[in-house]
A = this chain, B = another copy of it.
């Protein structure tokens, strides 16, 4: 299948599911819910839920299990969205623009944005623990644990804390890798792992997909660093050059543009290598890996 069409189709599927999952939320809390909805539906490539679903598709064709992976991916998208809302706050990165639109706190105020983020994070775990899930309850708990670890203080939140603390300081490349792995890599790896678990993958498949996920997470962050340096605010939908302006370490700052492109390509190759030995070559995952590198052009 043509990858662009696939991505468009899956994006619609994810957004339809997010809409239906959010419908339950209503009542006297409407301004707050509105703030959550705003950031959840303002845009985004939905790459995490798409990877979660693609990972499940690599191990099963069962529509019931694929639906489980879709809901799991939506929960992870809620966590990703909350992290953007909090990262954009004046006390953090102080960004006015995200996905070409005003950031949450510009519209709902700082208190509103903090609470919208808190609400989305909590809602994610409500989704993951929902009753009547068709997977085994031990699997459901395993996914919750995985998501909590990847997004918590030894994962995404810890990475953001390191990132904020490290602005305008010179730190070694190893430290940048730790930040990338925790701040961005962990949740992407987790999306792919959780998709495999939701799809009831064999242990061997989970291992391979985990290695794929780690490499994809790294590639994704390297490409993000590159785009911050080489793209424009219009194309990115957020302020280009923001990392450099804040004195943040990035791959291009350490290695220059050309070498950084090579490192991105190596990470993509490593991701594809991890899939060798699958009964059926998971074409979609290979194409998704290439797609991440293609964003650099």
Let me know if B153 and A36 touch, CB within 8 A: yes
- When C-beta atoms are compared, the residue in chain B nearest to A153 turns out to be B119
Let me know if B27 and A154 touch, CB within 8 A: yes
A95 → chain B, closest Cβ, in Å?
Answer: 13
Q: What are 11 A-B pairs with beta-carbon distances under 8 A?
A: A25-B154, A28-B175, A29-B182, A32-B157, A89-B114, A115-B160, A115-B161, A115-B164, A117-B118, A118-B118, A141-B141
Let me know if B91 and A161 touch, CB within 8 A: no
A29 / chain B contacts, CB cutoff of 8 Å: 153-154, 158, 161-162, 182
- When C-beta atoms are compared, the residue in chain B nearest to A144 turns out to be B129
Using a Cβ–Cβ cut-off of 8 Å, how many residues does chain A contribute to the interface with B?
Answer: 53
Per the bound structure, the CA–CA distance linking A149 and B27 in Å amounts to 14
Which of A19-33 touch B at CB < 8 Å? Answer: 25, 27-29, 31-33
Mask for A134-169, Cβ within 8 A of B = 1, else 0? 000110111011001101111001101110110000
Let me know if B122 and A153 touch, CB within 8 A: yes
Stretch from A3-11, A105-113, A251-259, A266-274 at the B interface: A105-113
Let me know if B165 and A31 touch, CB within 8 A: yes
Per the bound structure, the CA–CA distance linking A160 and B29 in Å amounts to 10
Asked if A211 is at the interface (CB within 8 A of a chain B CB), the reply is no
- When C-beta atoms are compared, the residue in chain B nearest to A131 turns out to be B145
Let me know if A91 and B118 touch, CB within 8 A: no
- When C-beta atoms are compared, the residue in chain B nearest to A112 turns out to be B161
Asked if A92 is at the interface (CB within 8 A of a chain B CB), the reply is yes
